[in-house]
Chain A
Amino acid sequence: MKILIIEDEVKTARFLKRGLSEAGYVIDVAADGLEGLYLAQEVDFDLVILDVMLPVLDGWQVLARLRETERKALVLMLTARDAVHERVRGFELGADDYLVKPFAFSELLARVRSLLRRSTPRPQQTLRMADLEIDLLRQRATRDGQKLDLTSKEFLLLTLLARRAGEVLSRTLIAESVWDMNFDSDTNVVDVNVRRLRSKVDDPFPVKLIHTVRGAGYVFEAGA
């Protein structure tokens, strides 16, 4: 999967490139709008990460010109300004997603993954990780054959973590997905709920599945 980053702020471009490379993507970086537009037109990228404030051509212009061409790359806009009309303008011009600075890298990675996955949705009936098995149809989870006694919210939380195993999920994203709290809510609440889930899913078993990533959120994996 090839991703183009059009970003003039050197440090931002550097950490985006490193982070996304380590996540397994092939990255190109352009430092201004014109260079970015040229690259995006010449090379077949799967995704373009586009900053709004750019020298030479700004992000809106790049987006508009890019949408005039044949290239069907997905576009994720980055901006420092979270005004509703900017968001609307981005979507009208054909942006596929929109992220406001400062953002959590885990959030960006999650968006990139979901954008690139969007084209090939595959419905799953069961999720497995180590000895955990989640039956999505019957809404039950078992570990080592034992049924886990979970509330509906706990089941939702576990499913979210398992579905996106290996990804760091931020507290904000978890609150939004499980409790429909789509704002920076009191994220301690997420910690309390994860702790409770852990007491049922992880504590009685030798292999731990839910791990805290300090300062970032939670990740679901069998190792580490």
Chain B
Amino acid sequence: MSSKPEHNSPAAPRLRRTLAFRLSSAYSLAGLLLVILATASLYIVLRAELDRSTELFLADKLHVLGSMLRERPDDEDALREEIELESAARRYQQFYIRLIDQHGAPIMTTPGMAEQLDLAELASRTRGRPGRSIAMAGRVGQPFRVTSATVAVGTPPTHSDTVQIAIDVSQEEELLARYRLWFWGILLATSVLFPLVGYRIARHGIRPVEEIAATARRITSTNLRERIGSEGYPSELASLAGTFNEMLERLEESFERISRFTADIAHDLRTPVNNIRGEAEVALARARTVDEYRDVLESSLEETVRLSELIGDLLFLARAESPLTELHRENVNIAGLLITVRDYYEVSATNEGISLVVHDGAEPLNAALDRSLMLRAVSNLVSNAIAHTPPGGTVTLAATSQDGSICIEVSDTGVGIPAEALPRVFDRFFRVDPSRSKISGGTGLGLAIVESILTLHGGSAEISSQLGRGTRVTLRMPALAMR
């Protein structure tokens, strides 16, 4: 037994860590404990009951003999009947009675009593403990209960005799022994049965979890479409499966977004690189004038500037997503910031026949912001607004504060954005009209940058638009004061 291999094998500790093992061992421990409690308490009750019935029997006999000696001391036949014959008629629970006079001489004894019991020991054991039942072993080891009592003889009493009674309780002892044997048997059987049944129950209960785990294992970035069927599971696991499916949904969405994003980057990087490469190849194909070379070089430079700007924007977005990015907050006067942006775009707007106005509130608004980033966000919005507003229109910059947050609004009277495009305008590389922005040269990252700047500030960017009426973008951020 001591050389059992599983103590050394690595499977044992791994098994001990499984849920099925833990559950089934908990089941079996609880089951065994219940069985032990139930059988042990039954045993104790049974034993007490048996003892009580023996004691009742002894008390009853004493009482009968006592009343016979007291009332009819000369009725020797009745006494003999009671002491010598009645016991001989019994096959089980043999009892023996001995009647001794006050001088210690025996008057009457159940036949065979001296063979079964050491009478001197009986006398010495029961002396001084009248009416109490005492356990005593017989001559061949069989268990007895013995008692003795002094009874008055005659009415009125003339003298007193001693009655000694012994009863063979080996039947009861055997019953208890059989009971104990059963007890151990049941214990053995349940200690084998409980772990087995418990393990089966646990395995059955865990199977849905394993199915969920198996599905999870199968899922990679290429088959994010797979879902866990949530029917037939108990409600706890159904909610787990549901949560898991929701997570998959979100993952699938962001994966799609990333792959779309990657494709867009590739496209937007490829175009300028292709231009540079093609122009250089064509230029080198034969000898050209200095002016022609200059033209090619200048064009290449323009393309690389476009590339640099795109790389800069992409880096900005990537950095804004990093949790390590820190804002350089300073105390910024919002109206001042809006006026800076207006000054920058004023000439452009005037050239397009658009009026650019700043509405600042009655009281000066100040907030702790990263000035350069917020300037960039507002500039991007104003640039978009001017590009999409026809001559005669108005672009309005406004700042308001309401319950602890500051809003910067850029609204125009421009062409507006179709409702179906609105939810995607903050996506990277999303262009409402792809052909149009080719000419204006936008990277399609402007609004994505606006949103990430607001996210960095713990705020949000919201857009609302009506086709032909205009667009309004609201930048909402918590109004932090400078410490």
Binding site for B on A (CB under 8 A): 82-85, 102, 104, 153, 175, 179-186, 188-189, 192-193, 196, 214-216
Contacts and interface: CB of A to CB of B under 8 A. Distances in A.
A175 B304 CA distance: 20
B311 A83 contact: no
Contact of B340 (A104, A180, A193): A180
B347 A186 contact: no
A139 B307 CA distance: 39
Q: Is the interface of A mostly helix, strand, loop or mixed?
A: loop
B388 to A, nearest CB: 13
Given A185-B379, A188-B348, A189-B348, A153 B315 contact: no
B340 A179 contact: yes
A214 B344 contact: no
A216 B297 CA distance: 11
B372 A179 contact: no
A192 B351 contact: yes
A181 B351 contact: no
Given A83-B319, A84-B326, A184-B312, 14 more contacts: A102-B304, A175-B344, A179-B343, A180-B375, A181-B375, A181-B376, A185-B376, A189-B344, A189-B383, A193-B347, A214-B301, A215-B302, A215-B304, A215-B305
B321 interface: no
Contacts of B308: 102, 104
Specify which of B304, B311, B325, B347 lies most central, judged by the most chain A CB atoms within 10 Å of its CB: B347
B70 to A, nearest CB: 113
Contact of A192 (B325, B347, B372, B379): B347
A153 B383 contact: no
B280 to A, nearest CB: 14
A161 to B, nearest CB: 16
A84 B324 CA distance: 10
Closest 6 A/B residue pairs (Cβ): A215-B301, A214-B298, A179-B344, A186-B383, A215-B302, A102-B308
A128 B351 CA distance: 30
Contacts of A189: 344-345, 347-348, 383
Contacts of B326: 84
B256 interface: no
A184 B319 CA distance: 16
A182 B312 contact: no
A210 to B, nearest CB: 15
A101 B299 CA distance: 20
A87 to B, nearest CB: 11
**Listed residue (B301, B311, B325) with the most chain A CB atoms within 10 angstroms of its CB:** B301
14 contacts: A84-B328, A102-B307, A102-B311, A104-B308, A180-B340, A181-B340, A182-B372, A182-B375, A184-B312, A188-B348, A189-B348, A189-B383, A214-B301, A215-B301
B253 interface: no
A124 to B, nearest CB: 25
B309 interface: yes
Interface residues on B, range: 20 to 34
Contact of A216 (B301, B315, B319): B301
B372 A196 contact: no
B311 A192 contact: no
Interface string B311-342: 11101000100001110100000000000100
Interface string B433-454: 0000000010000000000000
Nearest to B326: A84
Nearest to A171: B305
Nearest to B309: A184
B309 A153 contact: no
B349 to A, nearest CB: 9
A21 to B, nearest CB: 19
Nearest to B313: A184
Nearest to B306: A215
A196 B346 CA distance: 12
A192 B348 contact: yes
Interface string B282-311: 000000000000000011111011011101
Nearest to A197: B347
A196 B347 contact: yes
A181 B340 CA distance: 8
Contacts of B300: 215
Interface in B262-292: none
A182 B300 CA distance: 25
Given A181-B375, A188-B348, A82 B305 contact: no
A39 to B, nearest CB: 30
B410 to A, nearest CB: 14
Nearest to B345: A189
A164 B441 CA distance: 29
A180 B304 CA distance: 25
Interface string B372-411: 1001100110010000000000000000000000000000
A193 B375 CA distance: 19
A52 B313 CA distance: 22
Contacts of A83: 319
A187 to B, nearest CB: 8
Nearest to B441: A188
Nearest to B312: A184
Given A102-B308, A182-B372, A214 B302 contact: yes
Contacts of B375: 180-183
B348 A181 contact: no
Contacts of A184: 309, 312-313
B423 to A, nearest CB: 25
A196 B345 CA distance: 13
Contacts of A180: 340, 375
Interface string B137-151: 000000000000000
Contacts of A102: 304, 307-308, 311
A177 to B, nearest CB: 12
Nearest to B325: A84
Nearest to A190: B344
